[in-house]
Amino acid sequence: MFPGQGSQTPEMRDDVERDRPDLLELATEIVGEDPFPKAEEGTNYAQPAIFCASLAGWDRLGRPDADLMAGHSLGELAALVAAGSLEERDGLELVALRGRLMQESGEAAGDGGMLALLGRGAADHAAELAEAHGLSVANDNSPQQVVLSGAKQALPAAADAAKELGLRAVELSVSGAFHSPMMAAAVPEFERAVKQVKISPPRVEVLSAVTAEPFADVAAQLTEALTSPVRWRETLIAMHERGADRFVEVGPGRVLSGLVKRTLSDVELANA
């Protein structure tokens, strides 16, 4: 499992510098500066930094054999690189472009935000809350954690309604309504870029978090992921149904391991 934004840690730059100094140099070249010191400032820095930390973690594990792979949001690109579907440089260039376009789209829209629903029943109530308040389900992370995305002005009413259902509601500190139609401005340029890179058949089956099924059209589904929900809970269940009983989180943080614990039972967890 390869993590997405929000998994960054203070020590991840040191890990990359130790394990993959060439990747740190490449990220600095592509982004235009070292992205790690500014990873908390925006997606344009956070995404390439997390991508590099994930691949460094993959190398630290010795690139072990796996039966299945998946990534949460930007983690899909790291998973596709690890599976041999994308070249490393192409993956990093796409991640840097993706992060920049998402940052710019959020800033241009100006009024987008995200609301985390937490607690028992979050997944059960998320769709109805989103529909009632003109929002989108952005991240279906676990039965107890779902994130809504859309117009910032709609978030307080959605939060109040969620609390009436016994849920906690936390507005996230983000620059836009990610994984919602408000990211549409990022689609054309990213779509052109991803169609220009070489995409090979993966050595390992990689599940798309857009469909919770193996990637059928990598370019189309990576593009669709900009405006579509991350169906992570369903992806974990699909991996388990395919026989996965040991889940290894490759990259910074332990966010995905926590989501596995809340979604599946009788499975083993490990980290890079």
Q: The tokens 């899909």 sit on which residue? A: 76
Contact call for residues 169 and 162 (beta carbons, < 8 A): yes
Whether 125 is catalytic is no
CA distance readout (Å), 77 to 8, 141, 201, 207, 231: 16, 18, 14, 11, 16
Q: 88-109 and 75-82 are packed helices; what angle lies between their axes, rounded to 10 degrees?
A: 170
Catalytic choice (179, 180, 208, 228): 179
Dist CA 99 CA 220 (whole Å):
18
Task: Give 254's strand partners.
Answer: none
Hey, CA dihedral for 178, 173, 121, 255, is it positive or negative? Answer: positive
Q: Collect all residues with Cβ–Cβ distance below 8 Å to 16 and sequence separation of at least 6.
A: 23, 24, 36, 52, 53, 56
Centre a 10 Å sphere on the Cβ of residue 118 and count the other Cβ atoms it contains: 16
Whether 179 is catalytic is yes
Q: Which two tokens stand for residue 131?
A: 């529909």
Catalytic choice (54, 73, 105, 208): 73
Residues with active-site annotation:
73, 179
